[in-house]
Amino acid sequence: MARPGRKKRTALFIVEIICLLLFIGGLYVYGQIDSRLNKIETPQLDESKIVTNVTAPQMSGYTTYALFGIDQRSKNAALDAQNSDTIIIASINNDTKEVKLASVYRDTLLDIGNDTYTKANAAYAYGGPEQAISMLNTMLDLKITDYVTVNFNAMVAAIDALGGLDIPLSYAEMVFMNDYCVETSQETGKSYTPVELPDPKPENEEEILGTYHLNGVQSVSYCRIRYTASMDMGRTERQRRVIGMMVDKAKSAGITTIFNIMDEVFPMISTSITKTEILNLIPTLMGYNIADTTGFPAKYKFADVKKASMVVADTLEDNVKELHKFLYGADENYQPSQNIVEANARIIELVGGADTLVDQSPIASNEAGNSSDIVWQGDGSGNYDYNDYGGSDYDNSYDNSYDNSYDNSYDSGNDYSGDDSGDYSDGSYDSGSDSGSSYDNGGDYSGGDYSGDSSGDGGFEDGSGY
pLDDT value at residue 297: 97
pLDDT value at residue 433: 33
- In whole angstroms, give the CA distance from residue 225 to residue 417: 20
pLDDT value at residue 214: 98
The parent domain of residue 25 ranges over 11-40
Q: What is the mean pLDDT of the chain?
A: 75
The structural domain count of the chain equals 1
23 located within any domain: yes
Answer yes or no: is pLDDT of 259 > 80. yes
pLDDT value at residue 288: 83
Q: Give the strand order in the sheet containing 289-296.
A: 269-271, 146-151, 62-76, 81-93, 98-104, 289-296
- The gap from C-alpha 109 to its chain's centroid, in whole angstroms, comes to 18
Q: What is each CA distance from 433 to 25, 206, 429, in whole angstroms? A: 52, 9, 9
Pair 293, 460: CB distance under 8 Å: yes
Per-residue confidence at 38, pLDDT binned at 50, 70, 90?
confident
pLDDT digits over 112-149, tens only? 998 999 999 999 999 999 999 999 999 999 999 999 99
- In whole angstroms, give the CA distance from residue 130 to residue 49: 6
Answer yes or no: is pLDDT of 344 > 90. yes
19 located within any domain: yes
15 located within any domain: yes
31 located within any domain: yes
Higher local confidence (pLDDT), 351 or 226 = 351
- In whole angstroms, give the CA distance from residue 86 to residue 98: 21
Pair 194, 243: CB distance under 8 Å: no
Per-residue confidence at 44, pLDDT binned at 50, 70, 90?
confident
Helix axes 123-140, 338-350, angle to 10 degrees: 130
pLDDT more than 90, % of the chain: 43
192 located within any domain: no
pLDDT value at residue 107: 93
412 located within any domain: no
- In whole angstroms, give the CA distance from residue 281 to residue 371: 36
Mean pLDDT of 280-302: 85
180 located within any domain: no
Candidate from 32-41, 205-214, 339-348, 377-386 with smallest mean pLDDT: 377-386
Sign of CA dihedral 269, 42, 68, 35: positive
pLDDT value at residue 434: 35
Asked if omega into 202 is within 30° of 0 (cis), the reply is no
pLDDT digits over 45-98, tens only? 777 788 877 777 777 889 999 999 987 665 666 666 788 989 999 999 989 989
Per-residue confidence at 362, pLDDT binned at 50, 70, 90?
low
pLDDT value at residue 176: 94
Pairing mode of beta strands 289-296, 98-104: parallel
Answer yes or no: is pLDDT of 25 > 70. no
Is 96 in a helix, a strand, or coil?
Answer: coil
pLDDT value at residue 1: 54
Q: What is each CA distance from 403 to 50, 161, 391, in whole angstroms? A: 46, 32, 22
Answer yes or no: is pLDDT of 311 > 90. yes
Find residue 93's DSSP bridge partners. Answer: 62
Per-residue confidence at 3, pLDDT binned at 50, 70, 90?
low
pLDDT digits over 149-206, tens only? 998 888 999 999 999 999 999 999 999 999 999 999 998 899 999 999 999 999 999 9
Higher local confidence (pLDDT), 173 or 28 = 173
Answer yes or no: is pLDDT of 405 > 60. no
Taking alpha carbons only, the member of 296, 261, 291, 268 closest to residue 86 is 296
pLDDT more than 70, % of the chain: 67
Per-residue confidence at 15, pLDDT binned at 50, 70, 90?
low
Per-residue confidence at 29, pLDDT binned at 50, 70, 90?
low
HSE toward the beta carbon, residue 427, CA cutoff 13 A: 26
**Is the pTM above the cut of 0.75?**
no
Pair 396, 369: CB distance under 8 Å: no
Answer yes or no: is pLDDT of 106 > 90. yes
pLDDT value at residue 463: 31
pLDDT digits over 414-433, tens only? 333 333 333 333 333 333 33
33 located within any domain: yes
